[in-house]
Chain A
C-alpha cells in the first residue's frame, strides 16, 4: 500500500531533550516536506527536500533540522525542543514538487513541557 508513515504518532517530552520524528514514504517520491499545524494558522512549511542530500528552509525552520540521506526517509530533528514547538506535525511527499499531489503522513502530535 502506497503510504507515508510517521513515528511516533504522539510524544510528550520536556524542554531541551533532543528528539527525532521519522518520516518514510514507499512511493519513490522525489519531494518531501515537513509542516506544522497550529490552530488558526494553517499548515506552515518547516523544511522541504527536492531529492537526496538536497534540503531547504520553509517558512518556519528555526529550531528544526532535517536530513535526506535516502530517498524514502526524511527525519525531523528537534535539537533542543521548547514549548513553542508544541504542535501537530505532518510529513508529506509528492512525485516531483509541491505542485504535484502531496500525500501526507498521519501526523505526530508533539507536546513540549
Chain B
C-alpha cells in the first residue's frame, strides 16, 4: 500500500461545478497535512494547510478525517484557472522532515 494515495483522475468538470478529491494516508500518527497545486509540470505551490477542525479559503475547503485516515479538498464554483494537479502532502515524522507527497489528482475545468 502506498503511504499516500490519491485518485489520479482526471476529473473533467464544467465551469461552476463543485468537485471533491480525497487522499488517504497510511500513518495513523501523522499530524500535518497540506494540499499543494502544480500547474503543468511547473513547481508545486502551497494551496492550503489542513487543520483538524477543517478550514476554508474562499472557494476551497479542506477536511481531515483521522478515524478513516483521509483528507479531502472541495472546490466550489470551479474556474478554468483551477485546472491543475492537486498534490496531497502528509508528514510522516514528528519533526516535519519526512513529507510524503501523493502522485496528484488532475483537474480539468472546461467552459
Contacts and interface: CB of A to CB of B under 8 A. Distances in A.
B44 interface: yes
Interface string A7-22: 0000000000000000
A98 B91 contact: yes
Interface string B4-15: 100010000000
A65 to B, nearest CB: 18
Given A99-B91, A107-B41, A40 B8 contact: yes
Contacts of B45: 104
Nearest to B104: A42
Contacts of B102: 42
Contact of B87 (A43, A58, A101, A106): A43
Interface of A: 35, 40-45, 48, 50, 56, 58-59, 88, 90, 96-102, 104-107
